[in-house]
Amino acid sequence: MGFKEIQPEQLPDNPFKLIGKDWMLITAGTPESFNTMTASWGGLGVLWEKKVAFCFIRPTRHTFGFMEKAEEFTLSFFEGQHRKALAFCGSHSGRDTDKIKGSGLVPVKKDKVVYFEEARLVLV
C-alpha cells in the first residue's frame, strides 16, 4: 500500500477507536532485527509542546528489549479482515515463533523502522 505522509492534526480516525477497539501492532527494532506485538492500549497527545504516541509494554514481553534500544517505533493499524493476524501476533511470543510467517503479514523495512504492507495507517 502506498502511504502519504500527513501531520498528526490530519489524522482521519478517532484514536480511541483505533487503539482501543481496532487494535494495533507495535513494532520496534531495526529492519534487520525487530519484533511486533498486538496492543489495545496507549494513546496520542501532546507532551511539552511535542506531539507524542505512547504505549505500555511489560518488561517480560519480547518487544520490550527492542523498544528499549530503538530510536523510533511504529504503530500499525489495519482493516477488520486482518484481525486474525493481529490475534496471532498477540498470542505468540517472538522469542519462540516467527510472527511474520505465522501472521502472513508482509513487513516493509524503511529507513530505521518496520511497518506492514497490509496496514491502512502507520504512525512513526
CB 37 within 8 A of CB 26: yes
Q: What is the pLDDT of residues 89-98, one digit of tens each?
A: 999 999 999 9
Q: Give me the pLDDT at residue 96, please.
A: 92
User: pTM for the whole thing?
Assistant: 0.93
Domain boundaries along the sequence of the chain? 8-103
Q: What is the pLDDT of residues 7-62, one digit of tens each?
A: 888 888 888 998 998 999 999 999 999 999 999 999 999 999 999 999 999 999 99
Q: Give me the pLDDT at residue 1, please.
A: 57
Helices and strands, counts by H and E, the chain = 4, 8
CATH class, range 8-103: mainly beta
Answer yes or no: is pLDDT of 70 > 70. Answer: yes
How many angstroms separate the CA atoms of 83 and 70, rounded?
Answer: 26
Q: What is the pLDDT of residues 2-20, one digit of tens each?
A: 777 888 888 888 889 989 9
Q: Give me the pLDDT at residue 73, please.
A: 96
CB 124 within 8 A of CB 3: no
How many angstroms separate the CA atoms of 94 and 46, rounded?
Answer: 31
Name the percent of the chain lying above pLDDT 70: 98
